[in-house]
Amino acid sequence: MSVSKGVALITGSAQGIGHSIALRLASDGFDIALNDMPTKGTELESLASKIESLGRAVCIVPANVSVDEQVKEMIDGAVAKLGGLDVMVSNAGVIGEVTSLVSSTVESWDHTFSVNARGSYLCYKYAAMQMIQQGRGGRIIGASSVAGKMGLFGFSSYTASKFAIRGLTQVAALELGKYGITVNSYAPSGIQTAMCKAQENFDFAPDRSIAKDVTDQLENAKPAPDPDLIKWLTSVYGNVPLKQVGQPEDIASIVSYLASKEAHFITGQCISVDGGVFMS
């Protein structure tokens, strides 16, 4: 086994983006702590085997990221098993209900914020406490979204929660820089994952648009997608420069860079990885 670059903990790593991030950081030379809900044990065990085959140490620290004590125990467990914490990737998140603001429910709003916003807050907080105690700096990386940079029609709770992560990231960067800890986030658009199903490529012809792809993703949503949502998606995504859906590996690559020594002078940023949906 080669010398470790440190320990990275990735939440929501049983599938999708988190799965790819864990594999990429393991390939980069990090030992890996895997997190997801306790019900995802089979998926986490399978991923752990892949990481071991890459010659890296790995542990599983299941937790619900919205629960204070569970996040603390998750961090403590990773440190106890792997010897420290150098990279915290707060990746876990939910989309929540897709409906108009006036039709939305308080219950869905609270659930979306509990996972996306409070979950990131708890991960940032306890990771920062551990990194400060260690005294060797670190990297904290969160999952924002294109919805954290522009409002998405029909996604009020999701959009608000992803804007919250941008704000949290900036404040944490201000406070933690003196400890050598950088804090950044990534902002994907639609990514081909189990949670966000899409076709291999977007086709913007009238009979097959990105709106069709997103409708397919939301076919089981209750209530059914608002026709105005389809119109909005067509207008926004119809002119995306890179006419293809993103892959989990596209997000893993930016996380790999942000976790590296080369990214030591980048902090407080929310980096778009979206094919050009949002340009700043």
What pLDDT, on a 0 to 100 scale, did the predictor assign at position 204? 34
What is the block-wise mean pLDDT of the chain (280 residues), using blocks of 10 residues? 92 95 98 97 98 98 98 98 98 90 94 97 98 98 95 93 98 98 92 49 38 52 65 70 78 97 98 84
State yes or no: is 162 an active-site residue: yes
The radius of gyration of the chain from alpha carbons, rounded to an integer in Å, stands at 18
- Give 225's Cβ-side CA count (13 Å radius): 19
Structural domains in the chain, CATH included, are 7-192+246-273 (3.40.50.720)
Catalytic residue among 158, 186, 212, 237: 158
Q: 56: which residues sit within 8 A by CB, 6+ positions away?
A: 1, 4, 26, 29, 30, 31, 32
- Give 66's Cβ-side CA count (13 Å radius): 11
- Give 17's Cβ-side CA count (13 Å radius): 31
Catalytic residue among 121, 162, 212, 237: 162
What pLDDT, on a 0 to 100 scale, did the predictor assign at position 277? 80
Q: Where are the beta strands (DSSP E) in the chain?
A: 7-10, 31-34, 58-60, 87-90, 138-143, 181-188, 270-273
State yes or no: is 212 an active-site residue: no
